[in-house]
């Protein structure tokens, strides 16, 4: 695959900052390179926003806020609906763009585009459900009128693993609620976010309501916005480490945080599970995005009586996944996003193998250009292996066995993370009993995929604060106001 194979794809993608409805370079002219992780070649140079640019974006957002917040909810809903349709009409272009900057294989990117667009359809529908309530104060007899107002300007910071969906999951509810936003996409994958700007324009989003600022100076740019009193919401998806920093920064001005952070998902297969269905679910829970997902199954716990059957079938399926440039036909596993991510996978696997794990398939990085790592299955992983504690963020499944229900619930919960857990069992009452005891914000019960725009996505413990998607997602961008009235 050479760059010329996708020249046309990149020709129309904007590469400047999108502020107040127009395109401009960074105030100091700074730019940053975007690379294709499959070839390590530079494919674009994008403006890298400065603190002055961030202030210009806040000025634009402030200037547009009142008019947008006062629009009838139906109007905002129709604009989001149009944006959904426009993305779907160009879904193949978006999918290819995601693949060239993130690396994931085209089928994965297609899935992401559909998921991303769906947030606009869902929030087009939520925009018109701004339900308040009226009740009578029990003692005074006054009426309690409760209504919701746009919270104000939102700063949105997104990771590289879902360049489209993590942006739309935040922009959709913010716009539906009547809030303007400044989006800072991940430096590795700014092109997909920038390519959304013309969609917003065509859909009728007014200038200043969505501003897009890629920047290599993330700390300074986001920090400057968090110290500006005009910002009311910080919605962040990324690592727990950066989330913690942003929570500290948000504390000064009491900015509302929505934090979607890291995970360490257990995948539990009970002895009464349908093993084939569990393998199918494991393929999705582990391999969606090549394991570069906060929802990726990180620790496989398989009952000792079905371990042999599960591990053999799972390893066979993993072995069959073709590695290559994500745009090429038949490829299921593209490169990891950068050298750092690939090197972390290499070191976690070598640590586990050094401590006694057995490699059923994969287990070594691929030489040559591109950050490739093959689908890998490890069994006999020992309790002291680092990959049971760290997010692997790569296509590596680490399997351990267990005997007893209470024991496995305790082991699954023994992590500071609490995003998602997966449970496979043929007994639904056991499934519900175990799900309720798992300290995770989401549970996939006989399912390897939980992400859905209509469901509240989010974690417990150090996996985050707040929820995205569903009705909860729009509430993060709304303030509740109550009027006490006598009539």
- With contacts defined by CB under 6 A, name the span among 22-30, 152-160, 172-180, 306-314 that binds ligand NAD: 152-160
Q: How far is 425 from 195, CA to CA, in rounded Å?
A: 43
Q: Are 211 and 250 in contact (CB under 8 A)?
A: no
Which of the stretches 39-47, 108-116, 238-246, 399-407 binds ligand NAD when contact is defined by CB under 6 A? 238-246
**Binds ligand NAD by CB under 6 A, chosen from 99, 168, 218, 379:** 218
Span interacting with ligand NAD, options 28-36, 66-74, 108-116, 258-266, rule CB under 6 A? 258-266
Q: Looking at 99-107, 110-118, 254-262, 365-373, which segment touches ligand NAD (CB under 6 A)?
A: 254-262
Distance from C-alpha of 486 to C-alpha of 381, rounded to nearest angstrom: 67
Q: Strands of 297-303's sheet, edge to edge?
A: 358-361, 376-379, 396-402, 297-303, 265-269, 420-424, 442-445
CB of 289 to ligand NAD, least distance (A): 9
Q: How far apart are CA 486 and CA 16, in angstroms?
A: 54
Using left for φ > 0, alpha for ψ between -120 and 50, and beta otherwise, residue 280 falls in alpha
Exactly one of 101, 260, 391, 476 is catalytic; name it.
260
Q: Which is nearer to ligand NAD, 76 or 344 (CB)?
A: 344
Least distance from C-beta 352 to ligand NAD, angstroms? Answer: 19
Residue 239 within binding range of ligand NAD, rule CB under 6 A: yes
Q: Report the 10 Å Cβ neighbour count for 470.
A: 18
According to the binding rule CB under 6 A, does residue 391 interact with ligand NAD?
Answer: yes
* 176 touches 473 (CB < 8 A): no
Least Cα distance to 184 among 150, 159, 209 occurs for 159
**Catalytic site includes residue 294:** yes
| Smallest distance from ligand NAD to CB 161, Å | 5
Catalytic residue among 101, 294, 391, 468: 294
Regarding 260 and contact with ligand NAD (CB under 6 A), the answer is: yes
Where helices occur in 214-274 by DSSP H, the ranges are 218-226, 240-252
Q: Does 338 bind ligand NAD (CB under 6 A)?
A: no
Distance of CA 241 to the CA centre of its chain: 16
CA distance 278 to 302: 10
The mark string for 165-194 relative to ligand NAD (x by CB under 6 A, - otherwise) is -x-----------------x-xx-------
For residue 172, give both structure tokens: 């959709």
Q: Specify whether the CB–CB gap between 206 and 68 falls below 8 A.
A: yes
Footprint of ligand NAD on 366-385 (CB under 6 A):
none
To ligand NAD, the closest distance from the beta carbon of 67 in angstroms equals 29
How far apart are alpha carbons 113 and 110 in whole angstroms?
Answer: 5
Residue from the set 111, 150, 159, 172 that interacts with ligand NAD by CB under 6 A: 159
Q: Does 419 bind ligand NAD (CB under 6 A)?
A: yes
Is 179 noted as a catalytic residue in this protein?
no
| Closest separation in Å from C-beta 282 to ligand NAD | 19
Residue showing the smallest CB distance to ligand NAD in the complex:
238
End-to-end Cα, the chain, rounded Å:
72
Question: Which residues are identified as catalytic?
Answer: 260, 294
């Amino acid at each position: 695959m050479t760059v010329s194979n996708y020249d046309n794809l990149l020709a129309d993608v904007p590469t400047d900052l999108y502020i107040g409805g127009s395109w401009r370079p960074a105030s100091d002219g700074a730019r940053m390179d975007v690379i294709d992780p499959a070839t390590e070649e530079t494919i674009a140079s994008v403006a890298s926003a400065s603190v002055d640019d961030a202030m210009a974006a806040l000025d634009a957002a402030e200037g547009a806020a009142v008019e947008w917040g006062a629009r009838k909810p139906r109007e905002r809903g129709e604009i989001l609906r149009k944006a959904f349709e426009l993305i779907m009409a160009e879904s193949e272009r978006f999918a290819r763009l995601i693949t060239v900057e993130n690396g994931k294989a085209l089928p994965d990117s297609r899935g992401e585009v559909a998921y991303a667009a769906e947030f606009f359809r869902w929030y087009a529908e939520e925009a018109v459900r701004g339900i308040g309530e009226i009740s009578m104060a029990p003692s005074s007899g006054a009426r309690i009128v409760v209504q919701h107002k746009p919270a104000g300007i939102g700063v949105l910071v997104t990771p590289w693993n879902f360049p489209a969906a993590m942006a739309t999951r935040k922009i959709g509810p913010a716009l539906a609620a009547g809030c303007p936003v400044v989006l800072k996409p991940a430096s590795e994958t700014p092109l997909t976010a920038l390519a959304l700007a013309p969609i917003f324009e065509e859909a009728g989003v007014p200038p200043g309501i969505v501003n897009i600022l890629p920047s290599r100076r993330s700390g300074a740019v986001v920090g400057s916005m968090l110290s500006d009193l005009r910002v009311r919401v910080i919605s962040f998806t990324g690592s727990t480490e950066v989330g913690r920093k942003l929570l500290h920064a948000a504390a000064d001005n009491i900015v509302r945080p929505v934090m979607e952070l890291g995970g360490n998902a257990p995948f539990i297969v009970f002895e009464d599970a349908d093993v084939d269905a569990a393998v199918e679910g494991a393929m999705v829970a582990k391999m969606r995005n090549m394991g570069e997902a906060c929802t990726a199954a990180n620790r496989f716990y398989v009952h000792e009586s079905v371990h042999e059957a599960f591990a053999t079938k799972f390893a066979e399926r993993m072995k069959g996944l073709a590695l290559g440039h994500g745009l090429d036909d038949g490829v299921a596993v593209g490169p990891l996003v950068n050298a750092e991510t690939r090197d972390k996978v290499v070191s976690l696997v070598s640590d586990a193998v050094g401590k006694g794990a057995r490699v059923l398939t994969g287990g070594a990085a691929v030489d040559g250009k591109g950050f490739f790592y093959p689908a890998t299955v490890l069994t006999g992983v020992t309790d002291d292996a680092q990959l049971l504690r760290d997010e692997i963020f790569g296509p590596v499944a680490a399997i351990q066995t267990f005997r007893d229900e209470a024991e496995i619930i305790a082991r699954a919960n023994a992590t500071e993370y609490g995003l998602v857990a997966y449970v496979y069992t043929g007994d639904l009452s056991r499934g519900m009993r175990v799900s309720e005891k798992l300290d995770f914000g989401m549970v996939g019960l006989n399912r390897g995929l939980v992400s859905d725009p209509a469901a509240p996505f989010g974690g417990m413990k150090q996996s985050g604060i707040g929820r995205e998607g569903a009705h909860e997602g729009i509430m993060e961008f709304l303030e509740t106001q109550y009027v006490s009235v006598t009539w």
